[in-house]
Amino acid sequence: MSKKKEKKIQDFNKLYWFLRYYVDFSLRLSYRSIIYVGKEKIPTDGAIIYAPNHTNALMDAMVILAMDTKPKVFVARADIFRNPTLAKIFNFLKIMPIMRQRDGFNELKKNQDTINKAVDVLRDRIPFCIFPEGTHQTKYSSLPLSKGIFRIAFQAQELMPDMPLYIIPTGLIYGNFFRFRSTVRVQIGEPINVGEFIANHSDLSQQEQMTKMKDLLTERIQSSILYIPNDDDYTASYEICNIAQPIERKELLKEKANKRKHGLNLQLKANNNILKRISELKESNPEKAKQLFDLGNQANALREEKGISMESVSIKRPILSRIVKILCIILTLPYTLLTALLILPMVLICKYIFTLLKDPAFKNSVRFLIYLLLWPLLMIVYSIIAYNLFSWQIALPLTILLLPSPIIAHEVWKIFRFIRSDIKLLKEKKLRQIHSQIREIVKG
């Protein structure tokens, strides 16, 4: 009797593919905008390893997965695989465990099995994704890269010398790390051809080659994101970027080449210009730079104390647009109130789970999973109630109208939140004066 062939993590799975369409669709609805920049840089003549920065827990993997319809295999920290049931679920989702240095030297030895499986995935030309920072942080910055990705890449290249292998630097920028219906910008950086890199640095030892590749990957990831050095001036720098951004965007839009840029691309360019000026000011006039950072810290402390949203500072919305949106909400109040009522069970479950989370970075991931799993079930319940209360001629259009309830309710709440925040900003004369001082210094 022939032995049954062992199923690999990268093998085709009908149920996985069936669910994949729903998950990708749900992800698109979870964000107002997701854009992918530089996809044409992704090589098609070999195996690829995506190397994204890690800022938003599970959502980072979801965004990478939704980049195209190709299957992808991921790795995640090994401690979440300790529960056998969860381990099976993660395996179904094409996620493998990887040990980290904090798990201890003896545990790190177990990574060889993961490396072997990763090499097998790459030999089958299935895209592999590993977050080289090893952990996440909800900042517009980056952490030092671990060597796991390079060990996998070097071993894979050694075992498949006739197949090109590329590491793809990938930059993820979220408009907000914690809010539902925010924005995401994904930039594909310049790929690193592993085989060519090794050949070009054949005079170095393998450890030296890994270190040099690590520096190169770090540089390319940082150039693909909004990179603010993670030092004592981080908070002030980020606040300054948001305060000066509306003026910088306005200046950029005067140039013809920028008028067709997507809003997220223009925003990144504006922020990078501001950060460049801050860096130049630190070099040319340290005292002025210190004054600027002090103002940035003051603005941040006052804004957070008064509960003013960063969006009120960084985005200038036309008053007419605000009035029109408020009128629309008033006119559709019965509908918007009903949508809010229908999603209340999910909101309450999320609120409860949020109180149990030690790391707020998981908020969006938890909300995404709750909505992904519960909203179809709730819609079935609501549809049954509708068909029992009304004729099908009324129940059918009512059910269709209520399908986008999570989006409608959150968008309406967002408008009210922004209006409240805008009013608070208008009342804070001191804060607006600080903003004016910051813009004057940045403008130079």
pLDDT digits (tens, 9 = 90+) for 37-76: 999 999 999 999 999 999 998 999 999 999 999 899 998 8
Is the dihedral angle over the CA atoms 137, 139, 142, 144 positive or is it negative?
negative
Domain ranges of the chain: 14-222, 234-308, 319-427
Higher-pLDDT residue of 103 and 207 is 207
| Cβ 195 vs Cβ 165: under 8 Å | yes
- Say what angle helices 319-331 and 405-427 make with each other, to 10 degrees: 140
pLDDT for the residue numbered 422: 87
Q: Which two tokens stand for residue 427?
A: 């009342």
pLDDT digits (tens, 9 = 90+) for 303-334: 999 999 998 888 766 566 677 778 888 888 89
Please state, as a whole number, how many other Cβ atoms lie within 10 Å of the Cβ of residue 319. Answer: 8
**Range with the largest mean pLDDT of 5-9, 321-325, 335-339:** 335-339
- Chain Cα centroid distance, residue 212: 27
Q: Is 1 helix (H, G, I), strand (E, B) or coil?
A: coil
Q: Is 183 helix (H, G, I), strand (E, B) or coil?
A: strand
pLDDT for the residue numbered 103: 56
Question: What is the average per-residue pLDDT within 410-436?
Answer: 91
Whether residue 347 is predicted with pLDDT greater than 80 in this model: the reply is yes
pLDDT for the residue numbered 368: 95
pLDDT digits (tens, 9 = 90+) for 374-384: 999 999 999 99
- Supply the pTM of this predicted model: 0.91
Q: Which residues fall within 8 angstroms of residue 288, CB to CB, at 6 or more apart?
A: 281, 441
Average pLDDT, the chain: 90
pLDDT for the residue numbered 1: 43
* Euclidean distance between CA atoms 151 and 111, whole angstroms: 10
Topology of domain 14-222 in CATH is Glycerol-3-phosphate (1)-acyltransferase (3.40.1130)
For residue 107, what pLDDT band results from cuts at 50, 70 and 90? low
If you search the block for the tokens 């009128």, which residue do you land on? 327
CA dihedral 379, 382, 386, 392 (to 10 degrees): 20
From 106-115, 215-224, 323-332, the region with the lowest mean pLDDT: 106-115
Say how many Å lie between the first and final Cα of the chain, rounded: 80
pLDDT digits (tens, 9 = 90+) for 154-205: 999 998 888 999 999 999 999 999 999 999 999 999 999 999 999 999 999 9
pLDDT digits (tens, 9 = 90+) for 81-105: 888 888 888 888 898 888 765 655 5
